[in-house]
Structures are given as C-alpha cells and as structure tokens.
Chain A
Amino acid sequence: MNGRAKANLFSGLKYVFLALYALLTFFPLWWTFSNSFRTNSQIFTQTRLLPETFAYLNNYASIMRQNIPRAMWNSFSITALSLLLLIACSIPAAYFMSQYRFKLSNLVFGLFSAGVIVPRLSILIATFSNFQKMGFLQKQYPITLCYAAFELPISMFLLVGFMQSIPASVLESGKIDGCNSFSLLARIVLPMSRNGVVTVLILAFVSVWNEFAYASILIPNIKFKTMTIVLANAKNEYITDYGMMAAGVIVAVLPMIAVYSFLQEKIVSGMVAGAVKG
C-alpha cells in the first residue's frame, strides 16, 4: 500500500469511528423519540427506529392530561426565580470584591472559593432539617434560595475574574466623568462583563433545571414537583407504558434541546469553563 492510499484509508476509518460514536450518542434519544409515536403493543411486537406513523399522538395527549404541564411550569418558575436571585446577589457582590479591598477580603473570597469543593449532596440532610424548622417544606419557592446559594461559588469566581480584567483606566475615566460607585457598576462594569454574566446564567440554568436530589427531598408537595421528579417517578408509575414514558422524556428534554440549538457555542464554552475552573 502506498502512502496516499494509506492516508485515505486512515481518514476513512476516522470518519467511520466518528460516525459510529455519533450514532452511539444519538441512538438512545432517537429511539425514544420514535417510541413516543407508537402504541405499547407496537413497541412490544417490533423494534423500530422509525415509527409506523408520526400521526399517533395519544402518548403525548395522555401525558399532557397528567401532571406534566404543571411540572413544566414548576421547573420553569423555580429555575427563573433561582437565576434571578443568583444574578441579583452575585453581580453586586462580585463588583464589590473586584473593586474594593478591606480587612476580610481574602477571608470572604476564600469562603466563596471553598464552596467549590463542598459537594452539595453532603449538606442535603442539614438543609432538609433547616427547611423543616423554618416551615419551608410545604412551600414551593424556598428551594430557590438553596439553588442560588449553590451556584454562588462558581459564579463569584467567574464574575470577579471578568470584572477584574476591566482596565483600571476605563474605570478612572468613568469616575472623572462623575460616575458614583453604583453608576460605575451599571454603566461600565456590567456592560463590559456581559459575557461573564451570560456564562453564569447558562451554567446555573443547566444545573437548576436538571437538579434532582434537592428537588426530591425539599418539595414533598405533589403540586410543586418539578419535571425531573415527575420523570423519575414515571419509572414506577407508567411501569409498562413505554410509549408514554418515551413521550415524557421527549417533552422533558425539548426545552433544553431548543435552548441548546440556539445557544450551542455559548453553552459548550460556558459549561467547559465552569467545569475546568470549578
């Protein structure tokens, strides 16, 4: 075999591997998608990667009659509120840490950084007992306080980094133009750290929307259950109704896939930054 043929073979093999791996990644999702348009007896009699017809929507209709729409709303409102809280707390705090120095600066920053190494799961029991004492367990939104607090360490780390990289000369000229500390934040620092804020929002969105352990413990009220909990329970509830299970999965992942297809670049780079720096 000459060099050219060898190179061709090699690059051919490369595509075969890549395509195979892509298939391996996409297959389970596609199969689930296909099953969501099939009746249970169809699923039982034959394995197919394309449904007999896409017009069979009974699975979707029946999960929509169940608790899915409410769970969707719960997930949505809890996520939105958590992000709002996180942003409202972390932006001013990061601004403060990046601009000012005081006696306990290092201690406070160290405290925030330390949060990165504490697994959230390890404080689940204590959090539950606090929620019990505070009477939070029957309410829907106290969990957002936890979610915001959990995202604070990585958010502070990223935002402080972003804000520190703003050249001092820019801030100086802002001050000469008569900006006080707050308008400096609103007019100069915030617009210039927009990318950092977007990264923080993306990281928090993915993590809060997908969160399972805390949602399963801190929200016992069936009315307030989020999508991830309803899905996990579906495993036992729809035990043999595979079409409905598939439809549930598809409805649950659709919002995330939609967001991902629009913001792909930002999500990938944001999550990688979050993982590596955390």
Chain B
Amino acid sequence: MGTFKPKPQHALYLLPALALYLVFFIGPFAQTMGFSLTKWDGINESAFIGFSNYLEMFKEPVFQQSLVRVLKWALIQAASQIGIALFVANLLRANVRGAVFFRSVFFIPVVISSAAICLMFVVMYDNDIGLVNTALRLLGLGRFTHIWLGEQSTAFYAAIVVPIWQGLGMYIVILVSGLQGLPEEVYESSMLDGANAWQRFWRITLPMLWPIVQVCIILTVSGAFKNFDYIYILTAGGPGSSTHVLATYMYDKAFVGLRFGYGSAVAVVIFALGMLFTMGFKLLTTREE
C-alpha cells in the first residue's frame, strides 16, 4: 500500500469502485447471511426463524446427498485433474518439439464457455449418434453403452467428466511453468546417482513442486464446491435428484420452490465449505513444513 497522505478530493479515485463493490458484492453477501435466518418466498414479508433452515437442511436427504456428491466430485476432480496434468506436464517439460503447439491446443477448452462445452457433450453422450456409444460399439463393447446423462447410475460421473476435461489445460500450463522453475542441477546429480524416472518424480519433482500442487488442489476442490453450470445444463439435477449438487440444489429451492430463505442457507453452506477447506488445507499443509 502507498505512503502518501491523501487529500479529501483524492477519495474520488476510490469511491466508484468501493460503492460498486459494497452494493453489488459485500451487501448481497451480508443479505444472504440474513436471509438464511428467515422464512421467505421472495415476495411477501419474511419471517425470522433463527437457525430453522439449517436444522431442516441437515435432516433433508436430498441435501445430504448433494453434499456428499459435491465432496465426491471435489475428490475425483482434484485427483484426476492434477494426476493427468502432472503426467502431461512432465512429458511437455523436457524440450519437446512442438511444446508450444501442444500447450496452446491443450488450453483451448479453458477459454470456451461452459454452455458451449455442455451442448457439445450432450451430443457426445447421445444414445444414438454420440461418439461415446459409437466408439464403444465399434470396439465391440456394445453392451457397455448407456444413456449416459439419463441413467441414475452414470449421469453424475458422465457430467463431471465434462468440467474435468475442460479444466485440464489450465493445470497443465500451471504445472509446466512450475516444472520449468525447478533447478536442472538436482536432476543431473540424481541421474548420476542412478535414480530412474519414477524415483526422480517421487523424490525430487513432487516435493519441490509441492507449493504449486497445493495451489492446484485448492483451485480444483473449491472449483468443484461452487460449480453450478455443468450439472444444471447437462442434467438439471436429474434423473430424479441423482445428480444434484449444493449449487443446483440451492437454485432449485430458491427459484423453483420459491424458498429464498432456505436457498440462502444452502448458499451459506457453499461459501462456508469452500472457506473451511481452503483455510484448513493451508493450516494443515504449512504446519508440516
């Protein structure tokens, strides 16, 4: 932060941003906390009911399932995105010819809208013409075809493949630049000591890369917690409520069921979950060092 003492008129620099931020970000955040303690349909008078929404929510099976599902999603997303990205980044690291080309191809899905990607995958997963089923039939695995987004057993996993696939490019690029920052000498000396590629990865690369992997873990996990678009567009929580996550559950309760108070309580849980995870994770991982 700066050192000069401002004159009163200099406040004009700050005021527009501050006003915008308070009215459209901080204000609604405080309101959300308040709404979560009320019973309110969004139209009529609201009534203060204390923590009733929260008590009801934690007893509600669909909420419990959504919470478990979002935790599962976070775990799968973090493990698969970071695992695959680490693998690909390792391949890209040592002067691969065409590294720039590969990197720019890998990054393309990251800049495309979730809506466009989802529409693409709706067709990919289509029962009759979709590439997924077509490929399975071609390989003689016709009995493994599914109506991927329409069956309770597959819909959730089919849906979360989409954001995992889309986000990979980001983590590949983050990890490649992390790998390029590691000192070359350590590798050379370990090669002289006879360490193989596998040992080098576990004993040298991963420990030195850990701070960046940590950032990736926080990004992937908190990304999954608050994600709305993919489930909403691909399955809207269905079939039944078999793919609901906290975000779509919140939306459903507030804008379909017109329970703004209850929906706000779910919103608070989404916020708290992300914050608790980020803080807890940082606390746990920095103590070790």
Is B truly associated with A? yes
Q: A108, A120, A121, A252 — which one has the most chain B CB atoms within 10 A of its CB?
A: A121
Residue B2 is within 8 A (CB to CB) of chain A in the complex: yes
Interface bits B77-110 vs A (CB < 8 Å: 1, else 0)? 0000000000110011000101000111111111
Cβ-defined partner of A119 (8 Å) among B23, B105, B114, B274: B274
Count how many chain B residues have C-beta atoms less than 8 Å from C-beta atoms of the other chain.
91
Closest chain B CB from A76 CB (angstroms): 14
Cβ-defined partner of A256 (8 Å) among B12, B111, B123, B247: B111
Cβ-defined partner of B112 (8 Å) among A26, A145, A253: A253
Number of A-B contacts (CB under 8 A): 278
Interface bits B245-263 vs A (CB < 8 Å: 1, else 0)? 0010011001100001001
Give chain B's interface secondary structure class: helix
Residue B17 is within 8 A (CB to CB) of chain A in the complex: yes
Given contacts A47-B131, A132-B42, contact A246 B18 (CB under 8 A): no
With a CB–CB cut-off of 8 A, which chain B residues contact A212?
113-115, 228-229, 232-233
Q: A21, A26, A245, A271 — which one has the most chain B CB atoms within 10 A of its CB?
A: A21
Residue A146 is within 8 A (CB to CB) of chain B in the complex: yes
Given contacts A25-B105, A89-B16, A228-B113, contact A248 B119 (CB under 8 A): yes
* Bound complex: CA A122 to CA B226 (Å): 8
Residue A176 is within 8 A (CB to CB) of chain B in the complex: no
Give chain A's interface secondary structure class: helix
Assess whether B274 is in contact with A111, with CB atoms less than 8 Å apart: no
Count how many chain A residues have C-beta atoms less than 8 Å from C-beta atoms of the other chain.
96
Residue A181 is within 8 A (CB to CB) of chain B in the complex: yes
Binding site for B on A (CB under 8 A): 14-15, 17-18, 21-22, 24-29, 31-32, 35, 43-44, 47, 85, 88-90, 92-93, 95-102, 105-106, 108-109, 111-112, 115, 117-130, 132, 145-146, 148-150, 152-153, 156, 160, 164, 181, 206, 209-210, 212-213, 217, 227-229, 231-232, 234-235, 242, 245-246, 248-249, 252-253, 256-257, 259-260, 264, 267-268, 271-272, 275-276
Extra inter-chain contacts (17) besides given A92-B17, A213-B232, CB under 8 Å: A18-B102, A21-B106, A27-B131, A92-B12, A96-B13, A97-B14, A117-B278, A122-B271, A123-B25, A126-B27, A126-B28, A129-B35, A146-B24, A149-B25, A260-B107, A260-B111, A276-B215
Binding site for A on B (CB under 8 A): 1-6, 10-14, 16-18, 20-21, 23-29, 31-32, 35, 42, 87-88, 91-92, 96, 98, 102-116, 118-124, 126, 128-129, 131, 134, 165, 168-170, 173-174, 177, 215, 219, 222, 225-226, 228-229, 232-233, 247, 250-251, 254-255, 260, 263-264, 267-268, 270-271, 274-275, 278
